[in-house]
Chain A
Amino acid sequence: IQKTFKKGEDAELGSGAANWKEGMMARAAAMAKNKVNLMHLVYGRPGVKPTPSSFQGSQVDGESDDSEDDELFRVRRDSQRGASTSGNVDMDDLDTEDCSKFCLDPLTLSNWDSDEVIESIRDRFVTGDWEK
């Protein structure tokens, strides 16, 4: 239903409404480039006191459950979270495995059989074109 509504809206407003959309991709790309501040990414934003969740892992979950407070035992949900996503390090997990080795997911490897990909790093080698 939403889709048809949007289509109808576009048609009603005519072609003039699409002006601001021009070059949207380029602008978004330019903004995204400037946006990532590595200092903030690593140390958190200045002024904002880094919360324990961003520094030392998430709060123990399930503490604020209003129901079943009188129960002696509670089932922990999510206890195996992060264990299944090997390779993808969950920065907020308190008990992330301590590995310094960077494990690249084999599925994200570029296709190093293709000429294009090989040519893209040719100049990183002494055999590359030094004139450029």
Chain B
Amino acid sequence: MSGAVRRVRGSQQLRLRLVLATLSGTTLRVDDIRATSAAPGLKDYEASLLRLLEKISHGANVEINETGTKLKYKPGILVGGRSIVHDCGTSRSVGYFLEPLLILGLFGKSPLTITLKGITNDIKDPSVDTFRSTTLPMLKQFGIPTEELELKIVTRGAPPLGGGEVRLRVPLIPISLSAATWTDEGMVKRIRGVAYSTRVSPQMANRMIDSARGIFNRLLPDVYIFTDHYTGHESGKSPGYGISLVAETTTGCMLSSEKTATSLHREGTVIEQDASAHEPQLPEDIGRQAAMMLLEEIKQGGVVDSTHQGLLFILCALTAEDVSKVRVGKLSPYGIQTLRLVKEFLGVQFSIRADPASSTVILTCVGSGYKNLSRKVS
């Protein structure tokens, strides 16, 4: 590992920075983490993520100062491994942890199988349903065998108390990711989805589905949304419901949208009351908004939705030294930040060009030629 140290400031994009530092073998030094905030320092979910990184790698070293405003992370060698269990806590959902795990799992010594416990669906992070329906199929474009990719939802966990459990399995990539030319988004041929409900009346799921269908019916007959109702020990500790929709195109692109009810229990510590105040609660509104958000994504165009731009750019940058070309609708803030970080850590700069004919954006890059060095050579 090179002795390079990269100094950055602030807690923004910590996940991506950690992932890219791990992959590039760079020591990361973060200063001023929420230094001016009333609650300074690392949050518990960030500390949890650091512990998770230590679990899947050998020789990683994390130093945090007393107030938690300074962090030094020296990455180790990714090993992956079976039957790892990690409690994600309840301040962020497992979606927060799944994204870095998916990237890092590909480059380990042995395939990664990990059980994550916590909240499975919330309003901040991509839910496990979207992860399964949209995120995992994306990897197929980069030559990853998707049969071995798996996310199993064992139990549901709604906020605030969670209690959910998911199992993620990530295969190793053979040598490196293959470059993708992925610019044809095709046309939407069907819409699928999952409406889940846990510890509430199963009727909630049907109400969400009805209102979502009402919007799609004028455009496409092939709409099927599954109901996924949980009772008993599979239902976690809190009540909740939500819907995850995915539009499948003729060329195999998946565009997703989702909406989840904010925590129904208000007796515990309500963390962001003002943020959730204007979030819809009625199942009809949730279904309707999710459907409208999906139509907005379809209207925008591109081979992935706004949420998955970041992952798409990282995967492009990690491919073999070959040209990748992708199309997205409109650059999302997270996508732009990812592009900057990818240049910073991997030295991959994209060529970005607007395509006025379809009002989309075409990005081209040459992969960094990243190879799975940790993989056991037999």
Contact = CB atoms under 8 A, between A and B. Distances in A.
Interface stretch (A9-17, A64-72, A98-106): A98-106
Interface in B193-232: 215, 218-221
Interface residues of B, number: 70
B161 interface: no
Given A57-B10, A91-B336, A76 B36 contact: yes
B10 A95 contact: yes
B307 A100 contact: yes
A96 B12 contact: yes
Interface stretch (B79-87, B110-118, B148-156, B289-297): B289-297
Name the interface size band of chain A.
35 or more
Contacts of A94: 9-12, 32
Interface string B326-358: 000001111011011001100001111110100
A130 to B, nearest CB: 9
Contact of A95 (B34, B306, B339): B34
Interface string A83-126: 01010010101111111111110100110100000101111111
Contact of B343 (A43, A106, A122): A43
B374 to A, nearest CB: 25
A116 to B, nearest CB: 12
B187 A128 contact: yes
Contacts of A106: 278, 280, 289
B9 A56 contact: yes
A100 B298 contact: no
Contacts, number: 140
A102 B306 contact: yes
A111 B306 CA distance: 20
Contact of B299 (A57, A98, A124): A124
A95 B37 contact: yes
A56 B9 CA distance: 6
Given A43-B349, A55-B340, A109-B292, A38 B331 contact: yes
A38 B124 contact: no
A59 to B, nearest CB: 9
A31 interface: no
B361 A38 contact: yes
A100 B99 contact: yes
A98 B296 contact: no
B302 to A, nearest CB: 11
Interface in B215-263: 215, 218-221, 250
Contacts of A38: 331, 352-354, 361
B9 A52 contact: yes
A121 B295 contact: yes
A46 to B, nearest CB: 11
B310 interface: yes
A42 B339 contact: yes
A103 B305 CA distance: 12
A36 interface: yes
Given A100-B308, A125-B220, 14 more contacts: A33-B356, A38-B361, A42-B340, A43-B349, A89-B333, A98-B14, A100-B307, A110-B296, A112-B295, A118-B219, A121-B298, A121-B299, A124-B299, A126-B187
27 contacts: A38-B352, A41-B336, A42-B350, A42-B352, A43-B343, A55-B340, A89-B334, A94-B32, A95-B10, A96-B12, A98-B11, A98-B15, A100-B308, A101-B126, A104-B306, A106-B278, A106-B289, A110-B296, A118-B218, A120-B299, A121-B298, A121-B299, A124-B188, A124-B299, A125-B219, A126-B250, A128-B187
Interface of A: 33, 36, 38-39, 41-43, 52, 55-57, 60, 76, 78-80, 84, 86, 89, 91, 93-104, 106, 109-110, 112, 118, 120-128
Interface of B: 8-16, 32-38, 95-96, 99, 123-126, 187-189, 215, 218-221, 250, 272, 274-275, 278, 280, 289, 291-293, 295-296, 298-299, 301, 305-308, 310-311, 331-334, 336-337, 339-340, 343-344, 349-354, 356, 361
Closest 7 CB pairs of A and B: A94-B10, A102-B306, A89-B333, A38-B352, A96-B12, A95-B11, A102-B307
